[in-house]
């Protein structure tokens, strides 16, 4: 039987594999560095390096949250934005997948 960590590793590797623009790796690097962020915070950091819309960022973060299963979401009230946070139990797994470019991407984006 395949473990959940193995499945998540496979999903993250496939997610990064089709990353032609670099947005996906950069978003993961932002989460590695910040641990918690809103869509607007991620968009602000990502738009410094890439020409990316807020909707594109929201779509990718939503995909990471729902399909990869490495993020948690929390909303204080209906008036506040959703805060996404990286699940600590998968931090080492994400670092292994993103490592070759993690430091370079995180430094250039943040």
pLDDT, residue 101, reads: 54
The SS3 assignment for 48 reads coil
CB 84 within 8 A of CB 38: yes
- d(Cα 86, Cα 34) in Å, to the nearest integer? 9
pLDDT, residue 37, reads: 96
Tell me the C-alpha to C-alpha distance, in Å, between residue 36 and each of 7, 52, 57. Answer: 23, 20, 15
Which whole number is the average pLDDT over 28-40?
Answer: 94
pLDDT, residue 109, reads: 55
pLDDT, residue 102, reads: 45
Tens digits of residue pLDDT in 58-109: 999 999 999 999 999 999 999 999 999 999 999 999 999 887 654 444 455 5
**Domain coverage including residue 24:** 4-109
pLDDT, residue 100, reads: 66
pTM here is 0.83
Buried b / exposed e across 12-42, counting CB within 10 Å, b at 16+?
beebbeeeeebbbbbbbbbbbbbeebebebb
pLDDT, residue 2, reads: 77
CATH number where 90 lies? 1.10.10.10
- d(Cα 56, Cα 63) in Å, to the nearest integer? 11
Number of domains in the chain: 1
């Amino acid at each position: 039987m395949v473990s959940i960590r193995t499945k998540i590793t496979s999903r993250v590797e496939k997610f990064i594999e089709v990353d032609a623009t670099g947005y996906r790796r950069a978003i993961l690097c932002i989460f590695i560095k910040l641990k918690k962020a809103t869509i607007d915070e991620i968009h602000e950091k990502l738009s410094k390096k890439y020409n990316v819309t807020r909707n594109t960022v929201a779509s990718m973060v939503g995909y990471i949250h729902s399909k990869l299963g490495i993020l948690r979401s929390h909303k204080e009230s209906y008036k506040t934005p959703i805060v996404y946070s990286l699940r600590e139990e998968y931090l080492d797994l994400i670092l292994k997948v993103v490592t070759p470019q993690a430091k370079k991407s995180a430094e250039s984006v943040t």
